[in-house]
Amino acid sequence: MNLNPIGRVLIVGGGTAGWMCAAAFARALQGQCHVQLVESDEIGAIGVGEASIPNLIEFNRALGIDEDEFLRETGGSFKLGIEFVNWGAIGERYLHGFGALGAGSAGLPFHQFWLRGAQSGLAGPLGDYAINTVAPAQARFLRARHDMSGSPLADLAHAFHFDASLYARYLRRYAETRGVTRTEGKVEQVLRRAEDGHIEAVLLAGGVRMDADFFIDCSGMRALLMAGALGVGFEDWSHWLPCDRALALPSKASTPLLPMTRSTAHSAGWQWRIPLQHRTGNGHVYASAFMDDEEAERLLRLHLDSEARGDARPIRFRTGRLQRFWEGNCVAVGLSSGFLEPLESTSIHLIHMAVARILDFFPRAGFEAADVAEYNALTTREYERIRDFLVLHYKLTRREDSPFWRYCRHMAIPDGLRQKIELFTAHGRVIRHSDELFAEPSWIQVMVGQGLMPRSHHPFADQLPETELAAYLENVRQVIARCVQTMPLHADFIAQHCSRGVE
């Protein structure tokens, strides 16, 4: 077994995935090996991922990036959650907020008391009991006040909206100042070693050869190295997630500046709205089997709340994942590893986790089989659990107004998701696996938000007398409402701390 250290890493492809890899490797490896990135200006990035979940804070912090600087450089704004419109039924809306849900008591999570209150007419909407759902509806924002333990203000959890292309550019500057070298060029051929099938080098147009010990495939949906050269197969999930196209269309910035993403369901998919400082990101994700491109664009433009900027950009995709994420001396990161639609803003999280996992399993030149197998098992499990959370949104619709929604409502679903729904339906229980991305509050908010109410609640919630239950629920609601009133408007917070300035 070759125990020599890795001397050269080559990242094939730029964009958000490539430059997140480059920046993290530069920071972690600190010159121990040579990191190169090759990309072609002729190949455009997908770049629709303009929203994150809170985990991106950890990635930026690990790089030593100042949060306010990051937001100024990317035209970013804050995000406290995602509002879903027309998903359960037309005319309904709910917020999936980050962070805590209410305040638990007597060893039980808050939602068990809320369920009892809702079943007896003592509780208001679930969204009234979480600061991350009350604040964005009022366009208010504040970073968590960790000095106020016990207050809902300490429970605030935030993520970001930002321009993905500006973020990639920012990370490129970060990486290049730390020794990463970039080569402009288009890969025309991938050379493999005869003895073990590992990648030896890539040849660029014009004959430039780039050798490396370790290759990172950030070539997007083409998966140039993993699927193309190494022949790794693809596991198709389009029977569970049937949307296969998107149209992206920016529009002018609009007010108020809401600290939340909005997802509005249409007749064969859904439309995103992502508010940045300098513009609003919009897009329509839809299923081509149920809607043609012209109708998809008509609906997108019809539901813009500000003037469009430019033409709609079409994107085609297939939901699913590679059968293996690490093969030989190559790892896929980003869209080259698979595609899960941006319904819950998980694309950049998956890049972050891939980068962190590569660093955890960073190889020697021998590439131990046990390391590769464990990396693939962990990543597979992560993709499948995120997939199930996305499928949940479609499955729980009560809509019967179009063939698309009838298909989603009645489709078969993965066994693990079916078991999760059945468990919640019984007594409102949600069991989270230790490394699962979405915590119990996320599952609860989506299930309740789309009309799935359990038959009962945990029996221990009955130990609280009804008058005390009513007072407890009302106290939680009022405390959160008062805390939100102390928070500044989102636009004012940005103006004070991280404004991009006038363009």
Tell me if the bond preceding 256 is cis, omega within 30° of 0. yes
Q: Is 79 a catalytic residue?
A: yes
Classified as helix, coil or strand, 243 is coil
Contact 454, 115 (CB under 8 A): yes
Contact 446, 474 (CB under 8 A): no
Q: Which residues pair with 167 in a beta bridge?
A: none
By the 10 Å C-beta count (0-12 exposed, 13-18 middle, 19+ buried), 414 is classed as: middle
Tokens encoding 503: 């363009």
Select which of 79, 186, 395, 420 is catalytic.
79
Classified as helix, coil or strand, 241 is coil
Tell me the CA distances in angstroms from 429 to 59, 192, 215, 415, one per residue in order. 31, 51, 43, 17
Report the distance separating Cα 218 and Cα 337, nearest Å. 8
Computed on alpha carbons and rounded to an integer, the radius of gyration of the chain in Å comes to: 23
Q: Which residues pair with 234 in a beta bridge?
A: 322
Report the distance separating Cα 25 and Cα 356, nearest Å. 10
Helix (H) or strand (E) holding 263: strand 261-266
Tell me the CA distances in angstroms from 410 to 180, 195, 413, one per residue in order. 50, 50, 9
DSSP letters, 182-227, are EEE--EEEEEE-TTT--EEEEEETTS-EEE-SEEEE--GGG-IIII
Report the distance separating Cα 498 and Cα 131, nearest Å. 23
Report the distance separating Cα 277 and Cα 18, nearest Å. 25
Q: Which residues are catalytic?
A: 79
